[in-house]
Amino acid sequence: MQGLSKYVDMALKLGAVEAVLAPVEKLVIDYRFYLKCRFGCPNWNKYWTCPSAPGFPAPWEFENIIRSYSIFLAIHTLCEEDNQKISFEIEESAFKDGFLLAFSISGCSILCNRDCTYPDSPCRYPQRARPTPSAVCIDVYKTAKLLSMNFEFGKPDWYSYVLLL
Ligand code: SF4
């Protein structure tokens, strides 16, 4: 994990309040979040990057993909916009460093000012569109606790993850 610590430094420099590298076993996934997406989420059927979109992998399929990685970076910010931006930047940087499968789980709503083209026309930024943590059933709260990161309900805590290798 040593060579990857540069991404921790980068996240902090870009404005994250915390950034932690961890083995992927510590990324908590719970399929019950799918119920919360499917029933009651105001964004259901509104984004190409939501589980409602055609071709979006089922949560258990997504978990299999996530578990193919070994290390991820958890990023904590106090602002959604910063969070998505930092994740994208780190993914791009890791890609340039040779981690060709680096992938951020961060959402993409800021790219389109929350006005997704779904379902009328194709995604505006297919190379940058990413799912949110909840869309792939990541338990953000339990993962934060496992990594000794701060998370308080009711506070503006935003989390994203970059799967590195
Ligand atoms: S990048 Fe924009 S158009 Fe594409 S899925 Fe995200 S919000 Fe929708």
Best mutation site among 80, 112, 114, 132 for ligand 1 pocket (most ligand atoms within 8 Å of CB): 112
pTM tops 0.75? yes
Pairwise CA distance, residues 39 & 37, whole Å: 6
Under a CB-based contact definition with an 8 Å cutoff, are residues 144 and 159 in contact?
yes
Distance CA 4, CA 165 (A): 10
Ligand 1 pocket member 123 (CB < 6 A):
yes
**Distance between CA atoms of 132 and 156, rounded to whole angstroms?**
16
Q: Is the pLDDT of residue 107 over 80?
A: yes
In 3D space, the residue among 162, 93, 164, 156 whose CA is nearest the CA of residue 130 turns out to be 162
- Name the residue with the closest Cα to ligand 1, atom 5: 48
- What residues does each domain of the chain span? 2-163
pLDDT single digits (tens) 76-106: 999 999 999 999 999 999 999 999 999 999 9
